[in-house]
Every structure is written in structure tokens, then in C-alpha cells.
Chains A and B, each alone.
Chain A
Amino acid sequence: MKRFRRIVEKIAEGMLTLSGAVTTVTILLIVVFLFREGLGLFKSPAVEKGYALCVNVANPVDRLTPFQIKQIFDYAIVNWAELGGKDEAIELFRFDDIFSRYSDEELGAENDYALLPDKLGEVVASSPGIIAFLPEEYLPRDLKGVRMLRSEHITAGDFFGGREWIPTATPAPQFGTLPLLLGTLWVSIIAIFIALPLGLGVAIYLSELANEQTRKLLKPAIELLAGIPSVVYGFFGLVVLVPLVQKAFGLPVGETGFTGSVILAIMALPTIITVAEDAMRNTPRAMREASLALGATHWQTIYRVIVPYAKSGISAAVVLGIGRAIGETMAVLMVTGNAAVIPKTLFAPLRTIPATIAAELGEAPAGGAHYQALFMLGCILFLITLVINITAEAISKRQHNKGL
């Protein structure tokens, strides 16, 4: 019998070890996967994969940045002189335009479009100011009169320093994360500034001032707040908060970073309150009583003894609250308007990293540059939350070492 129990115990131990190992390995694999997919971005061509840009052979321009390409195809740059070329108007040519110039027979449609490359070559060679966006499969073969622009890779500078996020721009998608990163930080930091005083106030009230009955009622109610799905918060924000913010501040539009901050503050409150309250209640009874015995009032005890004692717990609460705010997706997606601009004021629409990933990953073709860029955003988010978690860990460790 005893032996049997020992075997069972051994098996149980083995299972626990195994599940621990499996979890660790899974998490590591996820991180590796995240970074592998993300880093692939810097090996992707700046122009859409499988396509190339061609110009007339007489054109001296031979390299264009992704941003210049986008401006050309948006008619924002209309003359080659602006790009260091000759004074010649830029003529745009997209691949599909060939079908409006030539009929299917002329292109040899039955014969696998055999004549297509030659016709494309003729078009490019005949026009000195042309820039043509063509699939590599149909590039003019002998390249007489045609020159391909040098293909470049997306650089880290473009990604981290770019100011425009337009992943669907053809031919050169714009992956500038600056607006997204700043948007995320902006919204989260303001959310904490709103949530911190409120959360601390409630935590102090709950742990020190409220009588047992109120506490028993309030605490579960606050914990319930944490259980509400974020999409419900988002919906509430869109229907109630957005018009409110718009009217209160007389703004042209109510979907702003501030609206997002308010929603995030509400969502971060339960975390802050619970953690901070626990820290305060952990103040040893001896310290409270000593303070009161010395003649300090209740209030003096709170802000001279209890809050300083619980300082590291409170800091941990703040850091965890920030973590919650930075990673939040759905609610922010619904109330911030998702305009990818560098936020100059809090009262304008902005876009956060999690909202971008959630909104765009569904349609980004697997393995493409857009997909990899979204994974890279995931990496950034991962690093931010990693730093936050390490900070939280370090802060809450300090409390234990403080000894009493």
C-alpha cells in the first residue's frame, strides 16, 4: 500500500515537472516565433514582393526611398527634377494599364501572354518620364530602353523612424511605427495619471477607512469591474464617452486619445486598487498600533506610516496598471479613432500598437511584409511589457527584503 502511494506520488511529481517544462518551452517557442517572423521584415523588399519598378533608360534616377515612391504614386511628386533627375513630368504606369492599351489578342492571351513583356518594354521605352510598376514575371526580357530601379530592403530606420503607417500603399507600403509607438505610450501614460489618484484613494479608503460591511460590498464590486470583457468597455466608450468628450471639450470629433485614456483608466483601476489595497493591509499591526500609541491621529498614521510602508506595493500596482493599459486592444480600437498620425495633442484621434495588430492581421497575407511588420510591432509590445514586468518584479521584491 505504502509503495503504491509512493508510485502515485512520483507520477504526480513527474506530471507537474512535465507541465512546467512544457509551459516554459511553449512560451520560449512563441517568443522565438514572434521574433523570427518580425525580423524577416528587414529582409523584405521595399517594393511589393514579386514586383519591380522600371524607368526609361535615359532617366538618371536610380534609387528611390519607399516614401518617395509613395509620394510619386500619390501625385505628390510630379516631376523628376524633384528627385534629382531631369526636368521631366512623371508618368505613372501600373501593370493593369497595359490591358486598356492593348487587347488580349495583341498580348497573346491564349499563348500564356507571351507578347506581354515585349509590349511592356515598348511602353516603357517609348516614354522618357515613365515609372512603371510591373510584376517580375513579365519584365521586358531584353531590357532595351528599360532600366529597373535598384531594389532595396526595408530598413530599421524606415521602420522605427518612419512617420507614416500605410501598409496597403502600392507599390511601396509605408511601415513607420513612430505614430503607433507614441500613440500607445501617450494613451497609457495619461491613463495612469487618471487612474493613479483615483485608485490610490479607493485603496486607502478600502483598507483603512471603510467599515467591514462596506468593504465586503465594495471589494467584490471592484473585482467585478476587472471581469467585464474589454469589448463591452469599448462599446460603452463609443456610445457614451465619445459624444461626452466631444461636447465637453467642443471638439470636431470625439474619438480621441483622451477618450482612450479614460476607458483605459477605468480598466486599470481594479488592478491598481486590488494590489495597492493588499499592500496596505499587509502593514503589520504592530506598526499601526505603535503610531497610534505615540499619539498620531488616524490620518497621520495613514500617510506617515501605512503609505510609506506599502510604497513598493503601490509602485507595483502602478506598473501592473500600466502593463494592463499598454496591452489593451479592443476598447482602444473602438474609441481612439485609429488615425495613424503622430499625436500632437491628446484631443485628437490616434492609433495604438495593439489596435493596429488586431485590426490588420486578419487580412495581411501570411509571410508578406505587412504580416512581418505586424509581428515586429508585436515584438516591440513584448519588449515594453517585459521591461514593465521586470520593473514590477524588482519593486515588489524590495518590499520583502525590507525586513521587520
Chain B
Amino acid sequence: MKRILLTAAVVLAALSVLTAQRIKGSDTCLPLSQQEAESYMKAHPSASLTVTGGGSGVGISALLEGTTDIAQLSRRIKFDERRKLQAQGKNVKEVIIAYDALAVIVHPGNRVTNLTREQLEGIFTGKITNWKEVGGADLKIVPYSRETSSGTYEFFKESVLQNRNYMSGIMNMPATGAIVQSIGQTPGGIGYIGLAYLNKSIKAIHVSYDQGKTFVEPSVANAKNETYPIVRPLYYYYATDSEKVVKPFVDYVLSAAGQKIVGEIGFITVE
């Protein structure tokens, strides 16, 4: 009797694992996917979703190995990643679930408000080292960056530094919260964070991508009307043959209820 019960339990557990959908990948998307999964499971009690982070690259390799159903990415799939998937006979579908804007932040006492992309590039590659070179006080610039494992680090390098390397000896902080904390207490500090993390202890820089003609403040509204330049899409990728299984959840994320959560977390909704 005991044995039968045990077998039944194992089978049941295996079944529930099989029907559960797995989402894996970018840590930027993690809070969003978790919230979405929670409210989706509340609406559909029979559904079961597990969400894990690890990084965008981890998500894609999990999709390759078949250990996830949806890969969440904070960047677009790379050419050779797509090739690897195709080599396995897997065609992937791409869905943009939200947008994320990056804000450049400084200490609230800093009188610099506007910076161009070229100036930012100079600061983060170590060519500009004093705030007076960009119209501020005579103060050493202390640039903060995220760790190399972060998708935000990659995106900032791509968009603002145009693939140049960060200066060697840039300060690497283990989390966005640590960057906010450090810049709030460092008069010469500058760093980049997701829009959702902006607060009163730091000041957001207005950024120009057109050599200083227009400077745009980072805000949800400006990101939405596409005037703020440092915006990246967040993606879900899934194999076309598992579309039936994952489609209801992806549709839910894109629905009005799902997009409301996007806004609540501080990302920008897909229109």
C-alpha cells in the first residue's frame, strides 16, 4: 500500500513538473515575470509557473537544452544564439513584453544636469575625469558601473559607449541598490540604473543623443513617446513548437491586466 502511494506521489510530482511552465533568464525581467506569474496563477489556479533568473545568456542556453519553456532576455537574441537554436531544429518566436529605460544618475548636489552621449562615453571610458570639463565644479568624477554579469552593463556599453570598453578601474557594484546608495553619498559619483530605481537621494541627468541639441529627462512619459534615447526592450523567447503551452501566459502578459503590472513595477508598457 505504502509503495503504491509513493509511486502515485512520484508520478503526480513528475506530471506537475511536466505541465509547469518554466521561465528563465535575465535578472532585469525577473521581478516582472514573477509578478506576472503570480497574478496569472491566481487567475488560473490550475496553472503552475516557475520563474528563475541567472542572466540573459543563461536563459538562452536553457532554451537550447530544453530546460526552460520561455527565455526572458534584456537584450535581443544574438546571431550565433539564433543559429545554434536553428541547428537544433528549433525556431524561436520573439515577443516584446515591456520596455526598460536606463537613467544616468549623479549626486543631488552636483550642478551638472545635461550630458551628451559623447560626454557620457568620455566619462565612462575614462577620458573625462573632472566635472569641470563638462560644466560642473572642480571635482573628480567617480564613475560607478554594474558587475559584468549584468545585462544592464552590456546594454549601457552597447548604447552609450558604442561597444567601447569601460575604463579599467571603474567601480563595480554588485547591485543596483548599492549604486544608488553609493552615489547618494559620493559628491563626484555617476552611474546608471533602471528608471524604476530613481529616488530623491540621487539626481537624474538629462541626456542628449543629438550632440547637445535637445536634452531629455528620463521619465516614463519620455520613454513612451520615444524622445528619451536610452531605452531597451525586454523580450520573451520561446520555441514555436511549444507555442500552445506558453501562449496563454504570454497573451496574459500582453493583456491590459498584464501590462498594468508592467507599469506598477516601473517598466514601460508595450503599446
A interface with B by C-beta (< 8 Å)? 50, 70, 73-75, 94-96, 99, 135, 137, 164-170, 174, 179, 238-239, 242-243, 246, 252-255, 333-334, 337-341, 349, 351, 359-360, 362-365
Q: Are A166 and B57 in contact (CB under 8 A)?
A: no
Q: Are B171 and A238 in contact (CB under 8 A)?
A: no
Q: Are A255 and B168 in contact (CB under 8 A)?
A: no
Known: A246-B185, A252-B139, A253-B142. A168 touches B178 (CB 8 A): no
CA A94 to CA B186, docked complex, whole Å:
37
Q: Is B148 an interface residue (CB 8 A)?
A: yes
Q: Are A359 and B147 in contact (CB under 8 A)?
A: yes
Chain B residue nearest to A366 in the complex (CB): B61
Q: Is B7 an interface residue (CB 8 A)?
A: no
Q: Are A252 and B182 in contact (CB under 8 A)?
A: no
Known contacts A254-B185, A341-B169; 5 additional CB pairs below 8 A are: A74-B164, A135-B80, A166-B166, A253-B171, A362-B54
Q: Are A165 and B168 in contact (CB under 8 A)?
A: yes
Q: Which 9 A-B pairs have the closest CB atoms?
A: A363-B149, A341-B169, A338-B172, A337-B171, A252-B140, A339-B169, A253-B142, A164-B168, A243-B185
Interface centre among B125, B170, B172 (most CB of A within 10 A): B172
Q: Chain B interface: which size bin?
A: 35 or more
Q: Is B174 an interface residue (CB 8 A)?
A: yes
Chain A residue nearest to B169 in the complex (CB): A341
Q: Are A340 and B186 in contact (CB under 8 A)?
A: no
- Which listed residue, A167, A242, A363, touches B182 by the CB 8 Å rule? A242
Q: Are A363 and B57 in contact (CB under 8 A)?
A: yes
A-contacting residues, B28-59, CB 8 Å = 54-55, 57-58
A333: chain B residues at CB < 8 Å are 174
Q: Are A253 and B168 in contact (CB under 8 A)?
A: no
A50: chain B residues at CB < 8 Å are 80
CA A372 to CA B224, docked complex, whole Å:
42
B80: chain A residues at CB < 8 Å are 50, 135
CA A179 to CA B169, docked complex, whole Å:
9
| 11 A–B pairs (Cβ distance < 8 Å), ordered by A | A73-B163, A238-B181, A243-B185, A252-B140, A252-B142, A254-B185, A333-B174, A338-B147, A359-B149, A363-B55, A363-B57
Q: Is B258 an interface residue (CB 8 A)?
A: no
- Which listed residue, A242, A252, A351, touches B172 by the CB 8 Å rule? A351
Known: A96-B79, A252-B187. A339 touches B178 (CB 8 A): no
B236 to chain A, nearest CB (A): 20
Known: A253-B142, A362-B55. A349 touches B185 (CB 8 A): no
